[in-house]
Structure 1
């Protein structure tokens, strides 16, 4: 993956449009999922955006994932029509990289992400109902 200097546009050699879809989840669940993915296999997690202003994480997944995404508590936005997500290279506020593209695989496998998000939701529910 490369990040364009002028726009901060994420590009990827996958798919005809060269863009990834983005699965967005609340930060707490996303951080749990990142931990789960990294414990399982570090190569299982692709780039992850952190939007502090919206308190969300965005996982880059292969193009076309949005068409079949149905995980409660998350959304998947297709990028084929609107182009790749635009991210400032050094954001003062708003989206920034938790896991930058140059340090990860091109995209997170949607099936692996689905399982990790489910496990994260169960862990959070157990922690919140305890004590």
Structure 2
């Protein structure tokens, strides 16, 4: 990613903060994580890491657009997919959690990891997010694959 893309990603992401300047200061001088409110510019769908990593791998296809911003929390073993805000959406499945309006998400800056949270796909500043339908298909396919593999790997 170019420096200009990093900067656009920083501006786009920090715009979700109540105080974008303070957000950027936290990233640079604090512990490297800012709490940003979901539901205005994006929602986050958090899934178990094995499911999320496999789904993200399925989304990296030449026939699909580049996946939207995606975080991993290695301490919580979760992957977070940034989606368009949709207060009426219902994501149903074991371990799925949607952060929308009124929820806060711990987010590192697009240019580095912080604590246990890092970007698998950092925001590029264009506002591109995961299309919900495409993400749902990838999660369904990944879930099916994990269901087949689980007995073989003893999970």
Provide the secondary structure at the position in 2 that maps to 1:43: coil
**In structure 2, distance between residues paired with 1:104 and 1:59:** 16
Give the equivalent residue in structure 2 for 1:30: 52
- In structure 2, relative to structure 1, the CA distance for the partners of 1:124 and 1:99 (3 Å cut) is same
Q: Tell me which moved more, 47-56 or 32-41.
A: 32-41
**Which is higher, the Rg of structure 1 or of structure 2?**
2
Structure 1 window deviating more from structure 2 (89-98 vs 110-119): it is: 89-98
| Matching residue within 124, 131, 134 for 1:109 | 131
TM-score, length of structure 2 as denominator length: 0.66
The number of residues matched between the two structures is 124
Residues 1:6 and 2:6 are matched in the alignment:
no
Question: 4+ residue runs of structure 1 moved beyond 6 angstroms?
Answer: none
Cα distance between partner residues in 2 of 1:45 and 1:126: 25
Unpaired runs of 5+ in structure 1? none
**TM-score, normalised with respect to structure 1:** 0.77
What is the Cα deviation at residue 129 of structure 1? 2.2
Task: Look up the SS of the partner of 1:97 in the other structure.
Answer: strand
